[in-house]
């Protein structure tokens, strides 16, 4: 029989190992992220705007921007950067990804998790092309929404008039990576303000651990979940 003390000790050892592994991963990845964060900063983007672009926490952006300037080491933030460029930069891979997300959508509709969408809506940014691919896979019209950034907050914005109307339609919000969900929550509010009905949010990677946003189901192909509490 294994004692409770040994189980706790083993758990702590595993947690410490995971933390050390994540820190080592950050040390390997951070040089490229430092360059990307600095490039975005040089273009005049704020900390929060850079966080939106990289899909990381704002404190991670601060850590990246200071990393090349501080001699004293700083603890790595508890965060994960999702680099899906090997998928997004190739048409066939993007189509395969859209097929998988389309299949997840159909499965969820059959299971009654949410209603069948009439329009696929992408959030303007890095996941917009993926939204177009999903609309093609599902043979649905395509629309785009643009939440607005005001300092540290994401607020309702505009539906892009260059694409399909969403008024009176059931819409599926599609994106590549969901960080904390504030952008997607603002997108939901924007669409509701435009008299649309968001039925679900579907993403490639969900970093938030959430299953709903403002009462709207959240589905993903991949979830990033902590093994142990930080």
Residue 193: predicted pLDDT:
97
| Segment-wise mean pLDDT, segments of 10 residues, the chain, 230 residues | 43 43 48 81 82 76 71 64 81 94 98 98 90 97 92 87 97 94 94 98 93 96 75
C-beta of residue 164 within 8 angstroms of C-beta of residue 112: no
pTM of the model: 0.74
* R_g (Cα) of the chain, nearest Å: 20
- CA gap 155, 147 in Å, rounded: 6
Residue 8: predicted pLDDT:
37
Q: Report residue 229: phi and psi, to 5°.
A: -65, 145
Residue 26: predicted pLDDT:
45
Q: Which residues pair with 170 in a beta bridge?
A: 197
- Helix, strand, or coil (residue 186): helix
Residue 89: predicted pLDDT:
83
Residue 129: predicted pLDDT:
92
Strands 212-213 and 197-206: unpaired
Domains annotated for the chain, with CATH where assigned, are: 4-67 (no CATH), 85-223 (3.40.50.2020)
Rounded to 5°, the CA angle 115-223-155 comes to: 65
């Amino acid at each position: 029989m294994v004692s409770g003390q040994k189980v706790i000790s083993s758990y702590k050892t595993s947690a410490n190992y995971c933390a050390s592994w994540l820190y080592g991963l950050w040390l390997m990845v951070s040089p490229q992220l430092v360059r990307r964060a600095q490039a975005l900063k040089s273009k005049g983007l704020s900390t929060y705007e850079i966080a939106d672009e990289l899909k990381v926490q704002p404190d991670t952006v601060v850590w990246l921007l200071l990393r090349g300037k501080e001699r004293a080491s700083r603890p790595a933030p508890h965060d994960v950067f999702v680099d899906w460029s090997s998928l997004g930069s190739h048409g066939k891979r993007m189509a395969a990804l859209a097929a998988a997300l389309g299949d997840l959508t159909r499965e969820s509709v059959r299971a009654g998790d949410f209603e069948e969408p009439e329009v696929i809506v992408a959030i303007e940014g890095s996941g917009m092309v993926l939204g177009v691919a999903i609309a093609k896979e599902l043979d649905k019209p395509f629309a785009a929404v643009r939440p607005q950034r005001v300092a540290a907050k994401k607020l309702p914005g505009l539906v892009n008039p260059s694409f399909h109307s969403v008024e009176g339609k059931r819409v599926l919000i599609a994106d590549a990576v969901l960080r904390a969900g504030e952008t997607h929550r603002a997108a939901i509010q924007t669409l509701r303000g435009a008299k649309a009905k968001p039925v679900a949010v579907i993403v490639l990677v969900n970093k938030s651990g959430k299953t709903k946003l403002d009462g709207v189901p959240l589905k993903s192909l991949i979830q990033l979940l902590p093994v142990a509490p930080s």
